[in-house]
Structure 1
Amino acid sequence: MNRRDTVLLVDDVAMNRAILRMLFEREYRLLEAENGEQALELIQRQHDRIAVVLLDLVMPVKDGYQVLETLGTEHYLTECPVIVITAEDTAENEVKAFDLGASDIIMKPFEPHVVKRRVQNVVELNLHRLHQQELIDEQAAKLRESNTVMVDALSSIIEYRSLETGQHIQRIRLFTKVLLEDIAERNPSLGYDKRLIEIISSASSMHDIGKIAIPDSILNKPGPLTREEFEIMKTHASRGCEMLATLNRVGDREYLEYAYRICRHHHERWDGCGYPDGLRGDEIPLCAQIVGIADCYDALTVDRVYREALPEEKAFSMIMNGECGAFSPQMLESFLHVRSAFWQLSREYTDHESPDAACDADKIG
């Protein structure tokens, strides 16, 4: 934020740029563009240094309205405020410019001192807002650090009570992250940025927290579960949500919301045959669908107390063919795309001390 020392002048008339240059050259580093296309190229390269954009509306190649629209779509307006300087003095043009995200509008001809003051006001207001956002982000980062400590502590409890190891938790985190990154790249409209991917990946660690409430005789049974035992095992999804609900006042709300959805719905299946709510299709939160397929893969490719891990090829085939429940075509497409990454992570973060607990579906008698 401290490097925002640049004013971008965008006008196809050289004389207009020269007048503005004289006003700001002592206080700012200046960039100039004579059309909207040049302006967008400069903003893409130097958006982290631009304090404000002074934008004409009527220009060749791309006009000011097109520039504003593109900046809004690509989310640059949140850090680079735009002041429109134009001779188009109509209420309709003003409304359109403001609707597209302009911070202020100055009409030509203008009084130089008025322009300087209004530019200064916009710049100071934006710097203050960015500073506030930095403070919010820092607080959120501290909360996430606290969440990590909490997650590790709760995960340790599960490890001590069951045959699962910390490597299982780590693999689920990494599988989730790899799948999310692939889905985000293929579907940018979903809005999964780096920050959100990190939050969801971390929240995936809580997917089986409800197993704390399952009796040892069922949780660590070395053979298949009876139907009655499996019904009790299935309650870990809802019991985990009850635990997470009690943490609402002490943790990052966004993180806990994702953890709640994952915990409750990672055993739901695309065709409605999962549990606990029998959701189908897009009713299942995407984050839970991702953790669901990650959990299945880990359950199949890690040793069990009553059998060895399945070959990777067999595990992959079972998931793709719906033998572990139905997954969405989008999820299977991404799973296919990241298959080699999954297998590499599975080998890199293998269990050394004790085998994983059995997959719920595998333990039905």
Structure 2
Amino acid sequence: MKPVGAATGRILVVDDEEINRLILANLFEGTYEVDEAANGREALEMIEADPERYIAVLLDVMMPVLDGIEVLRHLAPTGYMGRVPVFLITAERGNAVMEEAYSLGVMDSIGKPIVPYAVMKRVQSVVELFEARKRLSRTVEDQRLQLLDRAEQIIELNRGMIESLSAAIEFRNGESGDHVQRIHDITKLMLTQTHLGDGLSSEDIDDIALAAIMHDVGKIAIPDAILCKPGRLTPEEFEVMKTHTVQGAELLARIPQMRSMGAYRYAVDIARHHHERWDGRGYPDGLAGDQISIWAQVVSLADVYDALTNKRVYKAAFTREESLRMIRDGECGVFNPDLLACFFEVEPQICALYERRTAVASKPGSPEAGADVMGK
């Protein structure tokens, strides 16, 4: 290695003739620091020890131990020559050698005997081009990371606003807002732990779980006298309560920013259809069977389970055993048999989830699922 003054990087000169290495080292003195290798094996060991060390490699063809072409064959699969320019030094002008060298990724060839001025200009030009490309790549990558960071911040902000809006609706009738978080967790658990989520990506499931939080958003349009009534609704009041499904879907559709979110299409569907029933006796559209999306079905059952197992202003919480019996016996509406089988399969995990939350605080929820229990 030759220490130099104002060097702007380090190059590797690979040649079995010491005089050639000396000529090139002197040529680049003051411009680059220079490491030397006497054969291809030494060169590979130096490169592999620190792949980021060099900004250029000048490689002789005819060498003992490992020649230049063999070095190129080792480097080509690693992508090294896409990051660092390699110049072939050779007196050999045979088409076969040069054709293979270029096919392996050599940037340029330097003929022997060496013409110092020409070599200096060619190497400097290519090195500057590669370094400029690296700077541009770093700039692009920095900008990409900044954009991703901003996008994540926006996503978190949107999620926070969605959760706050959904929780605020729960607060209107004296509930804590934990209901929407439990619905989120149950929905995600059922789609990840059973075959109900087959065909859905993890991103899809995250979007559906987020959409589940917004299932009752339409209740913002329901008068307090009905929404907060501490008892059974009259038939007329129940008809008003039922409109929260349509109101919710329409409200979400009127928010332009929602349309760019992956959760949007799920949210609109869930808000409108989470009170549909397998036998077609739900509302607002009277959908039956597989006309109801699987995510709306999952949220519907999660909603009922949460309503049964938690205290409401109009009822005490049912025990876990009684709640499961009511769901199994169809007292809270008719559900897809396959959905029920999956639900009972993972219900112990859901129960454990509730117990963890209960250890922190009491868990009131939305009156929505109680629609099937007390006319809401």
Q: What range is the shorter-chain TM-score in?
A: 0.5 to 0.7
Letter in 1 for 2:74: E
**By how many angstroms is 1:150 displaced?**
1.6
Look up the match of 1:340. Answer: 348
More moved, 343-352 vs 143-152: 343-352
Q: Deviations over 1:309-361 (max 9, x none)?
A: 11111111222222211222221121011110111222333463866536112
Deviation at 1:156, TM superposition (A): 3.5
For 1:357, the equivalent position in structure 2 comes to 367
Q: What SS does the aligned partner of 2:208 have?
A: helix
Aligned to 1:90: none
Judge which range, 341-350 or 198-207, deviates more: 341-350
* Alignment-derived partner of residue 217 in structure 1: 225
Using the alignment, how far apart are the partners of 1:29 and 1:296 within structure 2? 57
Equivalent-residue separation in structure 2 for 1:320 and 1:216 (angstroms): 32
Q: What is the alpha-carbon distance in structure 1 between the residues aligned to residue 306 and residue 274 of structure 2? A: 13
Aligned CA distance change for structure 1 residues 250 and 293 (closer, same or farther; 3 Å):
closer
Distance in 1, matches of 2:199 and 2:163, equals: 28
> What 5-or-longer segments of structure 1 have no aligned partner?
6-19, 31-50, 52-110, 118-126
**Offset of 1:303 from its aligned partner?**
0.9
If asked which structure has higher relative contact order (CA below 8 Å, sep 6+), I would say 1
From the CA coordinates, give the structure whose radius of gyration is larger: 2
TM-score by length of structure 1 reads: 0.62
Question: Paired residue for 1:25, among 60, 63, 74?
Answer: 74
| Whole-Å separation in 1 of the counterparts to 2:339 and 2:156 | 29
Identity among equivalent pairs (%): 41
Deviations 1:145-191 (A, max 9, x none): 132122122123213312222211111111111101023xx367x33
1:282 and 2:290 matched: yes
TM-score, normalised to structure 2's length? 0.60
Distance 2:203 2:70 in 1: 38
CA root-mean-square deviation: 3.5
Is contact 2:219–2:227 with CA below 8 Å preserved after alignment? yes
Partner of 2:272: 264
CA contact (8 A) 1:144 1:252 kept: no
Distance 1:208 1:250, change over 3 A: closer
Does the 8 Å CA contact 2:173/2:224 hold for their aligned counterparts?
Answer: yes
Matched, 1:161 2:172: yes
For 2:160, which of 149, 153, 157 is the aligned residue?
149
> Deviation string for 1:278-319 (max 9, x for gaps)?
111111111111111100100100012232111111111222
CA distance in 1, matches of 2:327, 2:102: 66
Match of 2:301 among 263, 275, 293: 293
Count residues with an aligned counterpart.
Answer: 259
**CA–CA distance in 2 between the matches of 1:181 and 1:136?**
30
